[in-house]
Amino acid sequence: MEKIKKCEEMMFGNWRSYQCQNKAKMEHKGKHFCGTHDPVKRKERQDARDKKYDEESAKSRKDYLLRSAAPDLYEACNSAIWLYDELALSPLAAAAKCGDTYIPPSDEKCLEIREEL
């Protein structure tokens, strides 16, 4: 009878170390690992996290530079984007977005908003 192989990754917690108790799913360089501790999958997950973090950081950095370079222009652009989005919504889509309390804007209100743009 073949012995069930366990993951060989060492875990640390509660002031002690212990071996992972999950069943081994693969072998890498002579060691057995579960799906969680598989070095190849682990590297892929870390690379995906790093890529997402880098994209968010770049966006945040760009946003900060725009905000600090011309704050008034930045706020005006954001207001214009928001107003455009509100006017672009059909009444049905706006009702779905806002729920039962949605009251469509009057024609006068729409014309007033368009003049502000």
Q: How far is CA 43 from CA 22, 40, 76, in A?
A: 19, 5, 43
* Nearest CA-CA partner of 20 in 98, 105, 31, 29: 31
Orientation angle between helical segments 71-88 and 107-116, nearest 10 degrees: 150
In which band, very low, low, confident or very high, does the pLDDT at 45 lie, cut at 50, 70 and 90? Answer: very high
Q: Is the pLDDT of residue 88 over 90?
A: no
Structure tokens at 50: 């790093």
Farthest CA pair distance, the chain: 83
Phi, psi (rounded to 5 degrees) for 80: -65, -40
Helices (H), 1-117: 39-69, 71-88, 91-98, 107-116
Higher-pLDDT residue of 19 and 102 is: 19
In which band, very low, low, confident or very high, does the pLDDT at 102 lie, cut at 50, 70 and 90? Answer: confident
